[in-house]
Amino acid sequence: MKRRKVHGRWLLPVIFMLLAVTVTVAGEERSSSGVPVADGRAVAAAPLENIRVGVSDGRVTFSWSIARQFTGDFRGVRLYRVRDGRQIRFGHPTEELLEDLGLRTSWTVSSLANGEQYEFILKGYDSGKREFWSSTLYAYPGTDPRGAPRTPSSIYAAAGDDRIAIFWERNREADLALYELQRKDPLEPEFRTIGRLPKVMRLSGEQKEGGADRNAPLILSPAAYLDRKVTAGVAYEYRLRAVDLERKGSPYSEPISVQLRPATPPSGREIVLIVNTDSGDANGNGVNDSEEVARYYADKRGVPASQILRLHLKQDGSAVDYVRDIQQPLRQFLLSGNLAGRVTMLVPCFGVPTWSGGLALDSRLSDLFDRFIVGKTMGSPSPYFNRDRHFDGTYGVYLVTRLDGPTVEIAKGLVDKALAAEGTVSALSGTAYLGTLGSKRGGDLAIRKTAEFGRWLGVTVTMKDPGEFSKDELGPDAFWYFAWYHQYRDPMRGEWPVGGVGAHLISNSFATIREKDPTRKSWVQGLLEKGITATFGAVVEPYEQGYTRPDIFFGHFWTGEYTFAESFFMATPTVQWAMSAVGDPLFRLKKPPVKGNSTVGVGVSRDNVGTGQEK
């Protein structure tokens, strides 16, 4: 599916298309034609009319009138707020009832964040309290206009091998209309405008005759621009300004310069290590455990000492305020150090909590700047999911894997095992043990695709379809493992070989990392204790559809072209949700031999083995 283009290219999950724009006029939401908007998703016989949405500083006011021509059974209206992807939990409703308003004709919601989007639903009900009508409303609270808007802040650039992305922080003014981006190359005498980027857009899967689909949802445009009309070896300069509804513009930002970079696996210089200064000293050597792991890894992989961020965190995720304690300090660290566009990987070290706010911390960190909070269930679609190219900063997110384990020694040993395996261990070094439930569910289909690709590649595959691997069933030939559904039961007889990678699909596969009770041990903890080199799992309920896909993961990792971090992130459908990986993010296998006429290691869309990817 292709992106549609309106004044430039937007950085968005590929499932969406940009079709039309709405803006906020004098505190009232109107369409681009100036007509007041309640959303088009209301039934024809509507009990309410003249629905308006007024916004101000941290507030939104809804008003309407009761339709005189409506003759049906109507006794009142309820106001709901739709939870975003960060707020959805397993088994929880996607809508939150704010107020049963009866026959009132207005209501104000306060304590909202300026510059954010909120989605509300008005639902009419009858004398039996049954809801029979609804209208979806979007609101964009903002600061009251005072002259021209401010210059956009927190601007940075990231480069790939064929594109450059510009990112910034959204302005908070209620009357903001658009952003204007300009570019200049060394041969041009002055800057020229390459994009006018509206504040709000409408998303849809198809273009309706006569204009945009009014039933399509609205969303704040990402504060990002993807420039594909660029040439290698040329240093481009970019600058940005904000424009309000009266066409008053802010001063332009200071120019930033950037040029394309080759498509290569990430390196240690692209990593920021995150240390918890409150992790203790379990081994009694006088060095903070988290700091010890970070320094050890930095020395092995060439991570600059200036790229170690130290935070004071409680190890219990319930005691951590994600925004205050982690997100804001990390954002500032990257922006002030000119790292936001150069760093591609964030690596929490031993003692950093695995969860916060009911979500996997690492999954939240992937979308550190909250660019992709659009999902209504299972977090938000990852822009890097199912891709077949090396990761770079133009996706607007970060690769996140952690250096963690039941002990400091295990956490430190992850990089030692990865380094020992590189250059010697390939996909063909051992057997892949795969198990299904014998169903036609997505999890089983993905495992079967993994087996199909592995056999094509030359991997020895032992497949139970259906079947489980009993305790101590796997011997020293086992290098790769993926099965699902039952709680942890150690399948490995002895230790996992150096370079071995495996995971198990179940809702709580990463529920523990240092659990003392052996009956409550998670799969991630158990695999690490038995010496596996890298693994991944669910910190919170991911649903089957949100779990890391084994066919995509092994379909990339086995090629030797992609790192563990790239392969994991490509195979994980969402950010801001449930999944987390443990292992050296730079771990990469030796490439297997050439297969037929296709060179293994340059992508996995080869001969259509069932893992075909989208570039």
How do residues 2-21 score in pLDDT, each as one tens digit? 333 323 343 333 222 222 22
Residue 37, pLDDT score: 38
Do 20-139 and 147-258 come out as alike in CATH topology?
A: yes
Mean pLDDT of the chain: 86
Q: Which CATH entry fits the domain spanning 147-258: 3.40.30.10, 3.40.605.10, 3.40.50.1820, 2.60.40.10?
A: 2.60.40.10
- The mean pLDDT value for 368-378 works out to 70
- The mean pLDDT value for 167-175 works out to 94
Distance CA 154, CA 93 (A): 35
Q: What is the pLDDT of residues 399-414, one digit of tens each?
A: 999 999 999 999 999 9
User: In the chain, what percentage of residues exceed pLDDT 90?
Assistant: 75
Residue 380, pLDDT score: 83
Residue 26, pLDDT score: 27
| Residues whose CB falls within 8 Å of the CB of residue 284, separated by 6 or more in sequence, listed in order | none
Residue 226 parent element (H or E): strand 224-227
Residue 390, pLDDT score: 97
Q: Which residues pair with 77 in a beta bridge?
A: 102, 124
Residue 81, pLDDT score: 95
Q: Give the other-Cβ count within 10 Å of 141's Cβ.
A: 25
Q: Give the strand pairing for 399-400 and 345-348.
A: parallel
Does residue 197 or residue 375 have the better pLDDT? 197
**SS3 of 421-437:** HCCCCEHHHCEEEEECC
Residue 595, pLDDT score: 62
Residue 610, pLDDT score: 37
Q: What is the pLDDT of residues 546-601, one digit of tens each?
A: 899 999 999 999 999 999 999 999 999 999 899 999 999 999 999 998 765 443 44
- Whether residue 30 has pLDDT greater than 90: no
Exposed e or buried b per residue across 325-345, where buried means at least 16 C-beta atoms within 10 angstroms of its C-beta? bbbebbbebbbeeebbbbbbb
| Residues whose CB falls within 8 Å of the CB of residue 128, separated by 6 or more in sequence, listed in order | none
Residue 11, pLDDT score: 38
- Whether residue 426 has pLDDT greater than 50: yes
User: In the chain, what percentage of residues exceed pLDDT 70?
Assistant: 85
- The mean pLDDT value for 467-478 works out to 93
Distance CA 448, CA 442 (A): 10
Q: Is the preceding peptide bond at 47 cis, omega within 30 degrees of 0?
A: no
Q: What is the pLDDT of residues 199-257, one digit of tens each?
A: 987 765 443 333 334 455 677 888 999 999 999 999 999 999 999 999 999 999 999 99
- Whether residue 612 has pLDDT greater than 90: no
Residue 6, pLDDT score: 29
**Domain positions in the chain:** 20-139, 147-258, 268-582
- Whether residue 139 has pLDDT greater than 80: yes
Distance CA 110, CA 318 (A): 26
SS3 159: strand
Protein fold of 20-139 = Immunoglobulin-like (2.60.40)
Q: What is the pLDDT of residues 291-342, one digit of tens each?
A: 999 999 999 999 999 999 999 998 787 889 999 999 999 999 999 999 999 9
Residue 498, pLDDT score: 98
Residue 45, pLDDT score: 73
Q: Out of 395-399, 528-532, 541-545, which region has the weakest mean confidence (pLDDT)?
A: 541-545
